[in-house]
Chain A
Amino acid sequence: MNSLIIFVLLIALMLTGMPISISLGLTVLTFLFTMTNVPIESVALKLFTGIEKFEIMAIPFFILAGNFLTHGGVARRMIRFATAMVGHWHGGLGLAGVVACALFAAISGSSPATVIAIGSILMPAMINAGFPKRFGAGIITTSGALGILIPPSIVMVMYAVATNTSVGALFLAGVMPGLVLATMLGLTTWWRARKNNYPRLPTASWRERFLAFKDSFWGLFLIVVVMGGIYTGIFTPTEAAAMAAVYAFIVAVFVYKDLSLKKVPKVLLDSANMSAMLLYIITNAVLFSFIMANENIPQHLAQWLLDMGFGSVIFLLAVNLLLLMAGNVMEPSSIVLIMAPILFPVASKLGIDPVHFGIMMTVNMEVGMCHPPVGLNLYVASGITKMGITELTVAVWPWLLTMLVFLVLVTYWPPLSLWLPHAFGMI
């Protein structure tokens, strides 16, 4: 009964359009005031301690690093490199876009940031080269979603925080699925381009390829810094994020010089702004999951599902549907932070690996970002291409369908996610 009241209140408040963080907080306050004898001061305590955890600090660090990269000319050089490597195949620039997104995803923790970084440079180039706008928009919107699947990933940090899973293991688990999805999106691009006979670029010489590689080296090297640094034990994932921010700052300001020192305070402020928004959702979500734990809701849900005799196959199907539905109205961090604490105990009772479950949630979030009415990637792409949302929705469907096929693969074939972390002895 109590759980019903909590959820009805939360959903009602959310639908009025107030910030999600506020609706979470108000639900908890109302509930505490009227239905429990939990002292109300614990709200103030939880609002502080909710983010008093070093692992969470990876989020502001990765956002800062991402902003330096976006402003720092790294994306431009990665696109040049990708174009030199795959531009001569069917799909040309489009295929290069998929590769560039995958590369940028390996240094950025956010999907919309990947769409902006690659899309804002690639889209004009593709239109100039004679590609239909729709084709480019479809590629960028969906390939940009790789930003949260290929490590580093802010969404994975959120999941790790909500479920006490290891960030390092999740990052490693995202590598194979990320590469597979990038390949599948590339194949879709290649197939569409061949069917419609879209332009291809002349084959680049090896010298050109080498030059493009050399020019983009400092950006690409960040992949080595982050992943290499974590897995050779120089630093923890959180520290890696701080190192990435400093590295990206140096590359943007002193190596590529695409960002002037004068603009650095603005980058800091923008990063603080977005980090604070996400951290505010986290604190309120922690507060909310505290109330649920206090009422034993996840345990009851788990017990109920077990009593009903649902196996993991049905459960995973239901989770996917639930998450895809949530993806219609909410953005990924809120979904993960609200849903993971509820679903996770059930998943672990059913014997589902926490890392596999996290990767599956992440892929769900990717899909959600690419379709309306709420889809951050879609809106960012719309900002870049000046296309309406309806037109964009039509444009993304071949790639979105590919992503859904991939979601089924990730859900029901755990080794895809778990093989690499097992091989490294991480889990």
Chain B
Amino acid sequence: MLKMLDHLEEWLIGLLMAAATLLIFVAVVHRYLSGIPWPALQDALLQINLSWAQELCIYMFVWMAKFGAAYGVRTGIHVGVDVLINRLSPARRKYFILFGLLAGALFTGTVAALGAHFVWAIGHTEQTSADLELPMWMVYLAIPCGSSLMCFRFLQVAASFLKTGNLPHHDHGHVEGIEDPVDIAPYNLDDNLHPHTNGKGGAK
């Protein structure tokens, strides 16, 4: 069940990324070609209306961003100012890490509730988006949905941290560097932008 949610999340954001890129690519090519005076082709192209492409791209990326932010909690990519707490003893640092995770859950939980209320209010109006004329409540649904998922991810990471003492991003396997050089993820190192869970890492 949880595995399925994980996969769904990954598929959704990967697909949105690819689809938005292709969409803008097609829209640009279309605009470029329809400016060339080849009568037959131009007539055909002028028939096609892609005015909605920008709006759809924006909405796809906003959805990608909201669900991607939840995925980011799971991969530990969100950056913080960890310089101070990385200098604390592991025992003390634990409390700060836990505090941070719960603060994340508090904020995203609050936003989810506010967002749900907001979507509910918008749902009772006739507001639509300008180009696609989608009902706005559907568009804004990204806020409560993404934020609830993010809240859940913060709690999930907090629970596993309590149990195992590990945070998701500490995957040193891929810093093996030279052989498979390109798999180093910036924002995913022992960089003082993320809390250290063990003695290793940047602040020496």
Contact = CB atoms under 8 A, between A and B. Distances in A.
Complex: A in contact with B (CB within 8 Å)? yes
Interface of A: 13-23, 25-26, 29, 40-41, 43-45, 47-48, 51-54, 56-57, 60-61, 64, 70-71, 110, 112-113, 115-117, 120-121, 123-124, 234-235, 238-239, 242-243, 245-246, 265, 268-277, 279-281, 283, 328-331, 334, 372-376, 379-380, 382-386, 388-390
A64 B142 CA distance: 22
B64 A47 contact: no
Contacts of B101: 18
B80 A17 contact: yes
B100 interface: yes
A324 to B, nearest CB: 15
Contact of A43 (B17, B21, B22, B111): B111
B111 A44 contact: yes
B65 A280 contact: yes
Contacts of A40: 114
Given A116-B184, A331-B193, A242 B17 contact: no
B187 A376 contact: yes
Contact of A17 (B28, B85, B186): B85
Q: What does DSSP make chain B's interface, helix, strand, loop or mixed?
A: helix
Q: What does DSSP make chain A's interface, helix, strand, loop or mixed?
A: helix
B88 to A, nearest CB: 9
B43 interface: no
Interface size class of B (residues with CB under 8 A): 35 or more
A21 B104 CA distance: 9
B100 A22 contact: yes
Given A277-B78, A328-B83, A22 B58 contact: no
B140 to A, nearest CB: 6
A19 B24 contact: no
Interface string B174-204: 0101100110111101111101000000111
A242 B65 contact: no
B25 A246 contact: yes
Given A116-B181, A243-B28, A275-B65, 18 more contacts: A16-B99, A19-B104, A20-B78, A41-B118, A41-B121, A44-B111, A51-B62, A57-B24, A64-B21, A116-B184, A120-B181, A121-B181, A235-B32, A243-B25, A273-B72, A331-B187, A373-B203, A380-B184
Contacts of A373: 83, 192, 202-203
B97 A272 contact: no
A56 B178 CA distance: 34
Nearest to A234: B32
A39 B74 CA distance: 32
A44 B21 contact: no
Given A29-B107, A273-B68, A277-B78, A45 B14 contact: no
A330 B25 CA distance: 34
